[in-house]
A and B are shown apart, each in its own frame.
Chain A
Amino acid sequence: DIVMSQSPSSLAVSVGEKVTMSCKSSQSLLYSSNQKNYLAWYQQKPGQSPKLLIYWASTRESGVPDRFTGSGSGTDFTLTISSVKAEDLAVYYCQQYYSYPWTFGGGTKLEIK
């Protein structure tokens, strides 16, 4: 199984600050035939279902604000929120869909100061 590791496990920031969180996979998620990274990011707000933010490591889902940016390739990935809003309070999960079983990272909990 591919192991997904996220850091930090939690962070607290002020509104307007830039946030960066990391996701690492135990093996490459880059599929050579199409040069796509099979990595997604989800946001789960308290009491809600997860919501897809980013797929193919850097493609923003429709309707997701452009302050959310995914980057990285191979085994190292990053989710950046350029200017945090209070509504971004949530747990963020990365997930690989390169091979079964699909696996998630442990999550990064974003708190607002």
Chain B
Amino acid sequence: QVQLQQPGAELVKPGASVKMSCKASGYTFTSYWMHWVKQRPGQGLEWIGVIDPSDSYTSYNQKFKGKATLTVDTSSSTAYMQLSSLTSEDSAVYYCTRGGRAMDYWGQGTSVTVSS
């Protein structure tokens, strides 16, 4: 069965960077694009960007250009998102989600807390 495994939580200091992972299993990793979505506490969903694992083509929401960087490691079927220059506005849950039928499978999300 399709699974997207994400670490549960990250605590990072303001101004630092964080790189979170999303390990895919149960399907051919390079056959489906991987999207990333942000959800601040008590708020709605915001699309960050997408990567094609077959060639690392990326497309970003303009709002997150310079903030998020998407990469993949096809040898381990893992997608990564790095967030830089973190502020309190970046404290949120970040989901990876497979781009099959719309966004058909979702990870459990990584909760990022930015605090000194």
- A101–B103 CB distance below 8 A: no
Enumerate chain B residues within 8 angstroms of A101, measured Cβ to Cβ.
47, 60-63
Say whether A50 contacts B95, CB under 8 Å: yes
Which of B23-31, B81-89, B105-113 interfaces with chain A?
B105-113
**A49 neighbours in B (Cβ, 8 Å):** 95, 106-109
Does B55 interact with chain A (Cβ within 8 Å)? no
In the bound complex, residues from chain B placing their C-beta under 8 Å from that of A77 are: none
Who on chain A is nearest to B35 by CB? A102
Inter-subunit contact A95/B103 (CB<8 Å): yes
Mask: chain B, 92-103; 1 = CB below 8 Å from A; 0 = not = 000101000111
Closest residue to A41 on the B side, CB-wise? Answer: B102
CB-based contact A40/B47 at 8 Å = no
Count how many chain B residues have C-beta atoms less than 8 Å from C-beta atoms of the other chain: 23
Kindly report which residue of chain B lies nearest to residue A38, judged by CB atoms. B102
On chain B, the residues within 8 Å of A107 by CB distance are 44-45
A61 to B106, CA, bound (A): 14
A95 and B45 contact, CB distance less than 8 A: yes
Question: Counting CB contacts under 8 A, is B46 at the interface?
Answer: yes
Q: Which chain B residue lies CB-closest to A4?
A: B44
Q: Does B59 contact A (CB under 8 A)?
A: yes
Q: Which residues of B are found within 8 Å of A93, using beta-carbon distances?
A: 44-45
Compute how far the CA of A105 lies from the CA of B105 in the bound complex, rounded to whole angstroms. Answer: 19
Tell me which residues across on chain B come within 8 A of A51, comparing CB atoms.
Answer: 106
Q: Taking beta carbons and an 8 Å cutoff, which residues of B are in contact with A?
A: 35, 37, 44-47, 50, 59-63, 95, 97, 101-109
* 9 tightest Cβ-Cβ pairs between the two chains A and B: A40-B102, A101-B61, A49-B106, A102-B47, A55-B102, A104-B45, A55-B101, A52-B104, A100-B59
Q: Can you list 17 A-B pairs with a CB-CB distance of less than 8 A?
A: A40-B101, A40-B102, A42-B45, A49-B108, A50-B97, A50-B103, A50-B106, A51-B106, A52-B103, A61-B104, A95-B102, A101-B63, A102-B35, A104-B44, A104-B46, A107-B44, A107-B45
Not counting A52-B103, A103-B47, A104-B46, a sample of 8 additional A-B residue pairs whose C-beta atoms are within 8 angstroms of each other reads: A50-B37, A50-B103, A55-B104, A97-B102, A100-B59, A101-B47, A101-B63, A107-B44
